Structure 1
Amino acid sequence: MTVTVVTGGSRGIGAATARRLAAAGHDLAIGYRRDHDAAAAVLADVHAAGRRGVAVPADTTDPAQVARLFDAAADLGALTGLVNNAGVTSPIGPFTELRPDDLRAVVDVNLIGYVLCAQQAARRMSHGGAIVNVSSAAATLGSPGEYIHYAAVKAATDTLTVGLAKELAPHGIRVNAVAPGIIRTDIHARSGVPDRAERAAGRIPLGRAGEPDEVAAAIAFLLGGDSSYTTGAVLRISGGL
């Protein structure tokens, strides 16, 4: 039995991942923040694929809500996977204009939330398992003039991945990350540039933005048996950026 938690599972990369994992035989606990209709639509697709699933509203920066999400997953069976995907950006702009509340939100969701979820997973994967953290190509590009703080937090995600991979390996838990480049999702709207994917196409070596399914495919690989000797890796999915 394969039971996987996907955070931020109601939209974008998370929703594409949940659907792909259901097709691959995973039962799913889908965490989401507030869009009940979107989460219900993803859950309906999970059920249509013949898998069991639950959708749980959860703020991943709140330890109690994170625990509740993982408790719901436990009702499906022993936890075997986590996709740490819930994330936010903030308005694109120069570093000098960064507002403290935006900084704190990015750190809280993209780092503290990942740590809290990974901690719950590590405690509950009694028979081994796999964790995939969703990082970003920004971690090595730096995102100057856009959101350096977001890039810095994603660099921390890469470090978290490497450290956890080493610490949890003796327990049979593999930890890897994917580092998407510019992917066609609605996350760009929060940054104030909803058409960013289209605008960026000219500077991407492959000539286009990526699609959520292309990232979901890599996540499914890293959770599955074909990557059984892979841990501590950060797989870049950025079209050459």
Structure 2
Amino acid sequence: MGAPVLLITGGGRGIGAATARLAAARGYAVAINYRSDATAASTLVDQIRAEGGNAAAFAADVGDEAEVVGLFQAVERTLGPLAALVNNAGVLETQMRVEAMDAARMRRILATNVVGPLLCCREAIRRMSTRHGGQGGAIVNVSSVAARTGSPGEYVDYAASKGAVDTLTIGLAQEVAADGIRVNAVRPGFIHTDMHASGGEPDRVERVKAFVPMKRGGQPGEVANAILWLLSAEAGYCSGAIVDVAGGR
């Protein structure tokens, strides 16, 4: 029997890349999905292979249904049957108040951050569910502490999308529990990643770390550790859980 196959959406950078490296080191065959940064994804694949791991990169926009279907088919053809999914792909846009946002921005956020995870969950369930002849599996959704705080004055739209991810996790966990699939989430706080530059403030973590009880930002690897635990047999009786990785915030 081959290595269990794990698909990580948005896996080329940040939390996704840290999760890919750790998963490969622990024996997963890792499918690294990316939307546009082929260089980052291929570099990560090369690094993992150089360290003896098994990884491959796959381009797809998770907000596009046809591309998601093609992604899952390609992963299966290349690496084998899917055992686990990490819904990590997410976007945010320039910090602004809601009254300044247009509908196009809102749709872009929701397409990637809400429709994307729903579509990926659907495709994963169709393959992993014992109801459909699968062997079961595990899904971890990457939410955000913004789902609790709302991110006022910065990106309420992003926060709202992550609130939807929390609700998806709770409902889907109950829906597929009897089908051999566990669904959990991690809710990162202020993590040192490139995403903050998308919001127009690359050094945001340094500005806000004083509000964190532990007085520092988190590292992508610290979130990856929580994700890998939730995927593992050690978390075998854990489903519908949302684990905060936020320094006590």
Q: TM-score range by the shorter chain?
A: over 0.9
> 1:150 Cα shift?
1.1
Residue 116 of structure 1: CA displacement?
0.6
Q: Is the 8 A contact 2:58 2:75 kept in 1?
A: no
| Aligned counterparts of 1:98 and 1:61: Cα–Cα separation in 2 | 20
Q: Deviations over 1:11-51 (max 9, x none)?
A: 11001100010001000111001111100111112212323
Equivalent residue letter for 1:117:
C
Is the 2:24–2:53 contact (alpha carbons within 8 Å) kept by the matching residues of 1? yes
Deviation at 1:113, TM superposition (A): 0.5
Of 101, 104, 125, which aligns to 1:101? 104
Counterpart of 1:117?
120
Tell me, yes or no, if structure 1 residue 184 matches structure 2 residue 187: no
Structure-1-length-normalised TM-score: 0.97
- Three-state SS of the structure 1 residue aligned to 2:153 is coil
Write the letter of the residue equivalent to 2:58.
V
Distance 2:53 2:216 in 1: 33
Residue equivalent to 1:6 = 8
What is the root-mean-square deviation in Å for CA atoms of aligned residues? 1.0
Asked if structure 2 preserves the Cα contact closer than 8 Å seen for 1:176 and 1:231, the reply is yes
Counterpart residue number, 2:139: 131
Distance in 2 (CA, whole Å) between partners of 1:48 and 1:119 is 33
Q: What letter corresponds to residue 189 of structure 1 in structure 2?
A: A
Aligned residue pairs total 241
Q: Which residue of 2 aligns with 1:221?
A: 229
1:209 maps to what in 2? 217
Query: 121-130 vs 69-78, which deviates more?
Result: 69-78
AA paired with 2:59? P
The residue aligned with 2:59 is 57
In terms of mean alpha carbon deviation, does 175-184 or 44-53 score higher?
44-53
Whole-angstrom CA distance in 2 between matches of 1:174 and 1:139? 21
Q: Take 1:116 and 1:45, find their aligned partners in 2: how far apart are those partners?
A: 29
Give the match's secondary structure for 1:174.
strand
Which amino acid is the alignment partner of residue 66 of structure 1? V
- The question of 1:46 aligning with 2:48 is answered yes
Runs of 4+ in 1 over 6 A off after TM superposition: none
* Deviation of the 1:52 alpha carbon: 2.4
Give TM-score scaled by structure 2 length. Answer: 0.94
- Please state how far the C-alpha of 1:134 moved relative to its aligned partner: 0.2
SS of residue in 1 equivalent to 2:82: coil
SS of residue matched to 1:82: strand
Range moving further from structure 2, 24-33 or 88-97: 88-97
Shift of 1:179: 0.2
Deviations 1:58-102 (A, max 9, x none): 100111211121112212121110000000011112221122221
State the alpha-carbon separation in 1 of the partners of residues 67 and 172 from structure 2: 22
1:98-130: CA deviations, max 9, x gaps? 222211111110000010101000001110000
